[in-house]
Structure 1
Amino acid sequence: MASGYDVVIVGGGAAGIAAARTLASSGLSAVLLEAGPRLGGRARSETYGGRALDLGCGWLHSGERNAWTSIAEEAGFAIDRRTPAWGQQFHDLGFLPADQRAARAAFEAWIERMEASPPPSDHASDSLLPNCAWNGHIAAMTGFISGVGPERISVADYLAYDAAASECNWRLPDGYGTLVTRSLPERFAAFLSTPVERVALTADGVTLTTAAGDISARAVILTVSTAVLAGETIALPSALDPWREAAASLPLGRNEKLFLAISGKGPFEDETQVLGRPGDPTSGSHYIRPLGWPVIESFLGGDGARVAETEGADAAFAQAIDDLVALFGSDVRRMLRPLAASAWSADVRIGGAYSCALPGHAAARGLLARSYDERIFSAGEATNPTDFSTAHGAHDSGVRAAREAIGALGCGVRRPLTSP
């Protein structure tokens, strides 16, 4: 690894890879440093039985305008454009049709109240009806969507995402994480297991301290999560304290995935879905035989993911199996076995799922996206004003930050660096 570059990208997730793709043809010298042993960040596909299971992002949300859709098409990735089975309780198991209608109506009415009369507090929980029987259901839904309960959600932030999102949610049979990691340009310099320990300002750029030595650069693009940015993992100059404060206002929610292997057919039908405990804020959502594969994908959000984090993967698997046994009958217990589980909150290089603005802090996304002195640039899903919490939001932020760096440095014009 050289000791001097025009641009150093810190973080090899969707934002960092998008920044690398943008810089690749700029004429500037650049390198990507990833703290972990793999690329992808919160996009992670693991292969089991020849099938790519996404332990991180798994859906091309707003697929018709998602940048990864066109990248997938250009790379020859198949795209499954079927409508997800979300919100359709298979055979109404454990969730009577009347209750489903009431739960759906309560959730939609909650959103309508936030739109029509946003509470002055900006707390989404202040738009809940007291003693509503379906407040637990709403909390479960926000756990899936935002990784937290309504009490920690900014109304302005939630509505910004809701207004921008479309109903096109597609999948990549070969894995979203596979697509993201394979999208790094072939000759782009990238180093894994190379955590940045310190970023320091110099007279004409920045110096980054790593275990492999110091690296000088004219500019750096930080694409790390808000948990890392606000924490102590990377020592940052005091000039970036406003950015760290903004990151702290955009904490990562909790979301985890479990995959159960299915042996035999049993009562499980392809492309179906059930809520494990309707009305319970800790309930998991169980997607059955996605793409016809012999697995069940259990998605935990908010309080449910917090329980999994506290009690461990074994307890989370046991709860998921208990949920399915309660709905499908005791015979299915022998058909199910734990296969894979995520642990995003426990990963010190990431620290959670995706960002959610605290009440009163939706504007922190814009603050976090600002550059400092045209030499420190910020990217990542948390910096996207409307498509936060998505891989395409991260992608677009990486492109934006790279273009800002190119504009500041001058395409193909490299100035010599002094020693730090």
Structure 2
Amino acid sequence: MSLPSSIDVAVIGAGAAGLGAAHALKRAGLSSVVLEARNRVGGRGHTIMAAPDVTFDLGCGWLHSADHNAFVKIAETLDFEIDRKLPPWRERAWGKSFPPEERADFIRSLDEFFERLEEAAKGGVDHPANLYLQAGNRWNPMIDAISSYINGCETDRLSILDFDAYEDTNLNWRVRRGYGALMQAYGAALPIAFNCAVTLIDHSAKRLRIETSQGTLSADKVIITVPTNLIAEGAIRFVPALPDKVDAASKLPLGLADKVMLALDEPELLPVDGNLRGATMRSEMGTYHLRPFGQPCIEGFFGGRFAQALEDAGDGAIAAQAIDEIVSFVGNDFRRKLKPLTESRWAHDPFARGSYSHALPDHASKRAVLAAPVDNRLFFAGEATSPNFFSTAHGAHDSGERAVREVIAATLGK
């Protein structure tokens, strides 16, 4: 759509939060436009066909806490099949690279670490999570790797109070056609201006002036849903400046979680929805989802500093690492059966600059600071503003609806 010159509410970003906000504004009868820098909806939710027979979610792929996840109902409404099988984590181990007794010992150490975090958080004083690693425990590097998958960062950069605030019902489902494809369908009927990057929000006058790559528009109110790294790095400038928001965003950085998809010849040699991981005793390791949905492929996952180093090494480095590691687990004969298809590089994505947020130690309270409205005209949403479902698409979606409730309350309060 073309950019309007004036609107009731402008929504910045067509990720899960922006889509949730736009639908809520539509229901409320407020005129709105979504300003999206990309040429697609979904933000950090993006489904591609990595091969004709391989669907791949480059970003979010799991309906976490599915019994509290708004996208479950959205999927059912839009006739998207939901896969309710167990995720390929604890119960689906495969291969000889991580013997059962070793794996049981690792899981026990991991659970005891989580229990120590939970107990420490009850005191209400924040600390870095790495303080609760058991000194000398041989599994500590792999616990750091697990943290990098879950949080996008290692334990030294993780707030225990923030980690404890996350609500996980341990019910994790998938969208067969892709989470990103579901978001695409969810946004299909919304007023969205694509390739429209916002660079400045001037809130010095009665009406807001919003400068974009396609021109300028005015609005009564704005809902800002962009990732924290963009706010922290000044990709959008505020006039007058909002130093508290920039500071809060900088204390809620996006961690990094990257994926790679490998084509697999002779897929019948591996189990459907299995999990492959080695007893590496390293934090620099991947974890591998074997034949997701029964497809002829392996999906690899890397997080934290190791993912950043692989991204920085250039295109293809993640795939090369994944193939080398898989071969070390299952034997060199598998090398000829594996072929790189595609990989994500979220830290190098200019409109994301990372994957999902975590609070730095001593800064768990910054989620509420980032979420707070400014002058009843600037409203903030996105997964980083969710108090309990941060780092998820449904947390982002719900925050968009929350921001619209704030917009309506401010409008009625005039």
TM-score bin (small chain): over 0.9
| Structure 1 residue 278: Cα displacement | 3.3
Matching of residue 127 in structure 1 with residue 129 in structure 2: no
Q: How does 1:258-407 map to 2 (within 5 A)?
A: 258-265=260-267, 267-276=269-278, 278-407=280-409
Residues 44, 54 of structure 1: 8 Å contact kept: yes
| Structure 1 residue 117: Cα displacement | 3.0
Match of residue 76 from structure 1: 79
Residues 93, 274 of structure 1: 8 Å contact kept: no
Please point out which of 84, 89, 108 is paired with 1:86: 89
Structure 1: segments with no counterpart, 5+ residues: 414-420
Instruction: After the TM superposition, list the runs of 4 or more consecutive aligned residues in structure 1 that deviate by more than 6 angstroms.
Output: none
Offset from partner CA, 1:290-311 (integer Å, 9 cap, x none):
0100111101111331221121
Q: How does 1:93-132 map to 2 (within 5 A)?
A: 93-118=96-121, 120=125, 122-132=127-137
Letter in 2 for 1:128: L
Aligned-residue RMSD, C-alpha? 1.7
| Structure 1 residue 92: Cα displacement | 4.3
Residues 153, 255 of structure 2: 8 Å contact kept: yes
| Structure 1 residue 89: Cα displacement | 6.2
Residues 12, 32 of structure 1: 8 Å contact kept: yes
Match of residue 150 from structure 1: 155
| Structure 1 residue 98: Cα displacement | 1.9
| Structure 1 residue 330: Cα displacement | 1.3
Aligned partners of 2:34, 2:158: CA distance in 1, in Å?
A: 33
1:113–1:225 CA distance, 2 compared to 1 (3 A): same
Offset from partner CA, 1:128-172 (integer Å, 9 cap, x none):
1122111011101100000100000000001111xx211110001
Aligned partners of 1:50, 1:332: CA distance in 2, in Å?
A: 20
Residues 204, 240 of structure 2: 8 Å contact kept: no
Aligned partners of 1:373, 1:181: CA distance in 2, in Å?
A: 33
Residues 207, 219 of structure 2: 8 Å contact kept: yes
Match of residue 417 from structure 1: none
Offset from partner CA, 1:48-94 (integer Å, 9 cap, x none):
31543100000000111100000101111100000112024644421
How many equivalent pairs are there? 409
Q: How does 1:237-256 map to 2 (within 5 A)?
A: 237-256=239-258
1:132–1:229 CA distance, 2 compared to 1 (3 A): same
What is the SS of the residue equivalent to 2:65? coil
TM-score, with structure 2 as normaliser = 0.95
1:50–1:4 CA distance, 2 compared to 1 (3 A): farther
Aligned partners of 2:241, 2:317: CA distance in 1, in Å?
A: 44
Aligned partners of 2:314, 2:215: CA distance in 1, in Å?
A: 37
Letter in 1 for 2:129: A
| Structure 1 residue 267: Cα displacement | 2.6
Aligned partners of 2:182, 2:94: CA distance in 1, in Å?
A: 34
TM-score, with structure 1 as normaliser = 0.94
Letter in 2 for 1:177: G
Residues 53, 175 of structure 1: 8 Å contact kept: yes
Residues 24, 185 of structure 1: 8 Å contact kept: no
Aligned partners of 1:183, 1:50: CA distance in 2, in Å?
A: 24
Offset from partner CA, 1:255-301 (integer Å, 9 cap, x none):
10000011223532211011145331111110010010011110111
Aligned partners of 2:236, 2:213: CA distance in 1, in Å?
A: 13
Match of residue 165 from structure 1: 168
1:89–1:310 CA distance, 2 compared to 1 (3 A): farther
